[in-house]
Structure formats: C-alpha cells, structure tokens
Chain A
Amino acid sequence: DGGITQSPKYLFRKEGQNVTLSCEQNLNHDAMYWYRQDPGQGLRLIYYSQIVNDFQKGDIAEGYSVSREKKESFPLTVTSAQKNPTAFYLCASSIAGSPGTQYFGPGTRLLVL
C-alpha cells in the first residue's frame, strides 16, 4: 500500500539533545512538508521541499533543520536551539503543482524529559 510513514510514534528528548524524526513516502510525490501541531493552534509549517536537494523555510523554522537527499525521505531534526519542542509533528507530501492536496503521515509526538 502506498502511503507516508513516520517514526518513531513517540520520541523523548533530553535537554540540549538533537533528535531526528523520520518521514518516508512511497507515493512518488515530489513535494514534502513538515508541520508542527500544538493544542488549539492548528498546524504550522516548519519546512517544505519541492524537489530533491532543495528545501525552504516555513513559518516556524527556527530551531529545526531538514535534508532532502532522496525523493522518498525528508527527515526533520529538532535541535537544542528549539526551546519548546514538545508537540505533535506531522509530515505530508503532495504531487508538485497539485495545489494543496497533501497526504499526511500518522505523526510523531515529541516529549521533553
């Protein structure tokens, strides 16, 4: 079955630690996205990538980094510079040029110890 997978489902971060969230898709989509979801805040765009080896900052990129070395993969690193990382992180993908029809993964919940 085609879809988007995110791992792990739950992730714990210690103070000062960088952690990486995985996102993989087998839909052959060109574009991929990372959103952060906080209670009562909706989803906010962190980073997006329209093509391999290229990515753009979204509305809340500070304290995060990404890479796009393969079409299928778009990992997100939450760095120690992100002071409030506790949130639900959602990865999505879409066909390039298909406005907004994004398909979402199941999400990763990041908690700080």
Chain B
Amino acid sequence: AQSVTQPDIHITVSEGASLELRCNYSYGATPYLFWYVQSPGQGLQLLLKYFSGDTLVQGIKGFEAEFKRSQSSFNLRKPSVHWSDAAEYFCAVGASIGGGADGLTFGKGTHLIIQP
C-alpha cells in the first residue's frame, strides 16, 4: 500500500524568506503526486500535481515542487513567502491512472507559521 510521510509537523519561516516543505512517498510504481493547502476551518485547495514528464512542476501562488524518483521525494518550494501563506500543507499520492477514482493517501500535514 502507498504511504506519504511529511517529516515536519511545524515549520516557522520569516516573511520574505524561502520555503521548502518535505514529502516522501512509498509506492511501487510511478506515483501521482499532489500538494494541497488548507486554511483553518476550510477545505483543501490544490497547489500543484505531478503525473509524468518534467520533474519540476509549477503551481499556483508561486509554489513549485520537484519529483525525485531516486529519493522518493516531492518537496514543495517557494522562493519568498508571504504572511498569507500561513496554513496547513498536505502532500498526497494517488495509486494509479485510476487513482483519482480510488481516493488519495495523504500525509499528516505540515503547519506553516510565518514570522513578521
């Protein structure tokens, strides 16, 4: 079965500084990988996704992520964070081409705190 690990429960970053959130996955075949963001008491919004092709994917709000098969990682990055980026971030993996219809496996999330 697939699994996702987000090693950092909380991360604190100063406004304007760069950000990297870590995500490691476990899956036997080529995974379908996603990053979602959740503001307090809200649903999840898709930031970006990787299915195949270029291993560096661009998303909304200035985020990007890089798929590294050798490291089983899909880390999320942003060159300069804004106070509005404070939220919970979830990495997720889909099982297969039918993974979208079978549900996603989520990591436990990383809580991002922005210092002024």
On A, residues with C-beta under 8 Å from B are 4, 6, 30-31, 33, 35, 40-45, 48, 50, 56, 58, 88, 90, 92, 94-107, 109
Contact = CB atoms under 8 A, between A and B. Distances in A.
B100 A98 contact: yes
A101 B102 contact: no
Q: Size class of B's contact patch?
A: 20 to 34
A103 B46 contact: yes
B100 A104 contact: no
B59 to A, nearest CB: 12
A99 B9 contact: no
Interface in B61-116: 90, 92-94, 96-109
18 contacts: A30-B101, A31-B100, A40-B9, A42-B106, A42-B108, A42-B109, A43-B104, A58-B103, A94-B101, A96-B100, A99-B96, A99-B97, A100-B32, A100-B93, A101-B46, A106-B43, A107-B42, A107-B43
B94 A100 contact: yes
A100 B99 contact: yes
Given A43-B90, A90-B43, A106-B43, A99 B99 contact: yes
B41 interface: yes
Contacts of A33: 103
Nearest to B51: A99
B16 to A, nearest CB: 29
A44 B93 CA distance: 12
A105 B41 CA distance: 11
A44 B92 CA distance: 11
Interface in B18-64: 32, 34, 36, 41-46, 49, 51
